[in-house]
Amino acid sequence: MDVFQQIDELLQEISNAQIGDAAQLEDFRIKFLGSKNIIKPLFGEIKNVANERKKEFGQAVNALKQAAEAKFNGEKDRLEQQVENASMADMDLSLPPINGYKGSRHPISIVMNRIVSIFERIGFTVAEEREIEDDWHNFTAMNTPDDHPARDMQDTFYLKDSVQRLLRTHTSSVQSRLMTKTQPPIRIIAPGRVYRNETISARSHCQFHQVEGLFIDEKVSFADMKQTLLYFAREMYGPKTDIRLRPSYFPFTEPSAEMDVHWGLEDENAYRITKGTGWLEILGCGMVDPNVLENCEIDPDKYSGYAFGMGIERQAMLLYRINDIRLLFENDARFLRQFHSMF
Closest CB 311 distance from ligand PHE, rounded Å: 8
Please provide residue 160's backbone torsions phi and psi, each rounded to the nearest 5 degrees.
Answer: -85, 70
Closest CB 129 distance from ligand PHE, rounded Å: 14
Q: Tell which one of 107, 184, 192, 286 touches ligand PHE (CB under 6 A).
A: 286
Judged by beta carbon, residue 273 or residue 288, the one nearer ligand PHE is 288
The Cα–Cα gap between 254 and 246 comes to 13
Number of residues that bind ligand PHE (CB under 6 A): 10
Q: Tell which one of 184, 191, 284, 305 touches ligand PHE (CB under 6 A).
A: 284
Cα-atom radius of gyration of the chain, to the nearest Å?
A: 39
Binding mask 208-247 for ligand PHE (x = CB under 6 A): ----------------------------------------
Judged by beta carbon, residue 173 or residue 274, the one nearer ligand PHE is 173
Scanning 50-58, 87-95, 224-232, 306-314 for contacts with ligand PHE by CB under 6 A, the matching segment is 306-314
Scanning 155-163, 304-312, 316-324, 326-334 for contacts with ligand PHE by CB under 6 A, the matching segment is 304-312
Please provide residue 154's backbone torsions phi and psi, each rounded to the nearest 5 degrees.
Answer: -60, -35
Scanning 20-28, 111-119, 121-129, 307-315 for contacts with ligand PHE by CB under 6 A, the matching segment is 307-315
Judged by beta carbon, residue 25 or residue 288, the one nearer ligand PHE is 288
298 DSSP 8-state letter? -
Please provide the DSSP assignment of 247-267 as one string: EEEETTEEEEEEEEEE----S
- State which of positions 98-157 bind ligand PHE (CB under 6 A): none
Under 8 Å between Cβ of 189 and 116: yes
Burial 3-38 (b: 16+ CB within 10 A, else e): beebbeebeeebeebebeeeeebeebbebbeeeeee
The Cα–Cα gap between 204 and 198 comes to 7
Q: Tell which one of 253, 274, 295, 304 touches ligand PHE (CB under 6 A).
A: 253
Q: Tell which one of 39, 287, 307, 328 touches ligand PHE (CB under 6 A).
A: 307
The Cα–Cα gap between 40 and 33 comes to 9
Binding mask 146-185 for ligand PHE (x = CB under 6 A): ------------------------x-x-------------
Peptide bond into 149 cis (omega under 30): no
Task: Find, among 13, 25, 11, the residue nearest to 72 by Cα.
Answer: 25
The Cα–Cα gap between 122 and 127 comes to 15
Q: Tell which one of 232, 250, 279, 303 touches ligand PHE (CB under 6 A).
A: 250
Judged by beta carbon, residue 107 or residue 309, the one nearer ligand PHE is 309
The residues, any chain, with a CB within 8 Å of residue 69's CB and separated by 6 or more, are 33
Q: Tell which one of 190, 285, 293, 317 touches ligand PHE (CB under 6 A).
A: 285
Judged by beta carbon, residue 7 or residue 228, the one nearer ligand PHE is 228
Query: Crossing angle, helix 222-237 and helix 107-120, to 10 degrees?
Result: 130
**Cross-strand partners of 248:** 256
Scanning 48-56, 95-103, 271-279, 281-289 for contacts with ligand PHE by CB under 6 A, the matching segment is 281-289
Judged by beta carbon, residue 172 or residue 274, the one nearer ligand PHE is 172
Identify the three-state secondary structure at position 82.
Answer: helix
Closest CB 115 distance from ligand PHE, rounded Å: 14
Residues near ligand PHE, by CB under 6 A:
170, 172, 250, 253, 284-286, 307-309
